[in-house]
Amino acid sequence: MWTTINEPSVISIAGYDTGNKAVGRCSKWVNSKCQAGDSATEPYIVSHHLLLSHAAAVQEFRKCNKTSKDGKIGIVISPPWLEPYDFTSSADKHAVERGLTVEIDWHLDPVVYGDYPKIMKKHAGSRLPSFTAEQSKMLRNSYDFIGINYYTARFVAHSPHIDPALRRFRTDHQFERKEKNHSNHLIGPGENRGVLYYSYPEGINDYDDGTKSRDEILNDTFRISYLTDHLQQLHKAIIDDGCDVRGYYTWSLLDNFEWEHGYSTRFGLYYIDRENDLKRYPKDSVHWFKQFLNRPVLKSEQTENEEGWKEENNNKTLDDSEGFETSIDSIINLMTNTSRIEEEGNDICAFENPNDQLGFLLGPQKLFGTLENLL
């Protein structure tokens, strides 16, 4: 599996609207640290060219006879899920629709349909570039799978007023993200499966401020607990919601250089000793993952008859829960047994939530890769 562009919206917005990530361009009134830039135009221009580069790469990939015949290529986006700040407010519900259009459709509509969503054209106007007929043709269906780096969810409120003298991408579409709703509640685990639970907004990160020993960082039981719980949710997405999930990746394999945070954060399953020739040390989560991946796979007939997770097993670890052993077997089986989903031909991921923007691309003939990028 190959990917072209990772998180295009982060490149465009954080790099050219807010200026807090590379390349650090934005309007001076948005961020005084920016030396140059235009937050009202550059994010649209940058994403436009990112999409064209994606389409060109896919075109070359599909023509190349040196890649494997079963090779797949796609793009990776990083949308948060959005819910209305006030569920009784029609304005906030429309704000959610606009928000999901920006977070998802901005980069997926061109890849799927060859053009930008109408609602973005309406709000951005002439500042949103247009595709030529040839470019649109090249973009259309330029994916074999869609990768998603997912972080958390937010409430969204309608933002009615825009100062025409201070235009920027963040305000164009008239919605404002909020961590709490009008009742002062955070998004969190609940009974409604259509609402993504509040994950880790800052990720599974071993903060390295120099005060922790290496052994303390290697003992990452909190990461094991998270992965155990999270894979249960992935199992529910496959079994209960019928999501066509073909892969799952944990961010990250190794401690890395993390955007503007540099080497001060450690997301890796492997600890990198930067003071000792970059020697690698497996964290406890590595041993957990090895056990997870080495579980025997159940036959598909057994997984299809499985009743799902039992409430009492939700917080148990890999070694002490028979229910968890059965369920992780089914996750691996469902990821590898792709013919089962294709033969069913059902509507995939048909959430009851009317604001769901993902359903249009989750057809049985397309791959949908879920990546976990916990920043």
Q: At what angle do helices 322-336 and 221-239 cross, to 10 degrees?
A: 60
Question: Is residue 21 within 8 Å of residue 33, measured between CB atoms?
Answer: no
Give the per-residue pLDDT at 122. 95
| Mean pLDDT to the nearest integer, 31-48 | 98
Residue 9 lies in a domain: yes
Q: What are 109-154's pLDDT values in tens digits?
A: 999 999 999 999 999 999 999 999 999 999 999 999 999 998 888 9
Average pLDDT over residues 169-185: 93
Report the pLDDT value the prediction gives residue 318, as an integer from 0 to 100. 37
22: domain CATH number is 3.20.20.80
For the chain, how many structural domains are there in total? Answer: 1
* DSSP H or E run through 300: helix 300-304
Give domain status of residue 317, yes or no: no
Per-residue pLDDT reduced to its tens digit, 276-308 = 999 999 999 999 999 988 887 655 444 444 444
Range of the domain at 170: 1-199
Q: Is the pLDDT of residue 267 over 70?
A: yes
For residues 247 and 204, give the distance between their C-alpha atoms in angstroms, rounded to a whole number.
Answer: 20
What is the distance between the alpha carbons of residues 257 and 277, in angstroms, rounded to a whole number?
Answer: 16
Quick: pLDDT tens for 222-256. Answer: 899 888 888 888 888 899 889 888 888 888 899 98
- Please check the confidence at residue 336 and state whether its pLDDT lies above 80: no
How many whole angstroms separate alpha carbon 338 and alpha carbon 333?
Answer: 9
Tell me if 188 is assigned to some domain: yes
Measured between alpha carbons, how far is 3 from 18 in angstroms, rounded to an integer? 26
Structure tokens, 297: 């796979």
Whether 100 is covered by a domain: the verdict is yes
Query: Angle, nearest 10°, between helix axes 221-239 and 284-293?
Result: 30
pLDDT exceeds 80 at position 200: no
* pLDDT classification of 190: cutoffs 50, 70, 90: low
Strands (E), 36-90: 73-77, 81-84
Is residue 51 in a domain?
Answer: yes
Total-model pTM: 0.78
Q: Please, what is the average pLDDT of the chain?
A: 80
Q: Which long-range contacts (CB under 8 A, 24 or more apart) does 60-66 make?
A: 61/2
Separation of alpha carbons 373 and 285, rounded Å: 16
Contact 249, 268 (CB under 8 A): no
Residue 68 within any structural domain of the chain:
yes
Asked whether residue 291 is assigned to any structural domain, the reply reads: no
Give the pLDDT of residue 7.
96
For residue 74, being part of any structural domain is answered with yes
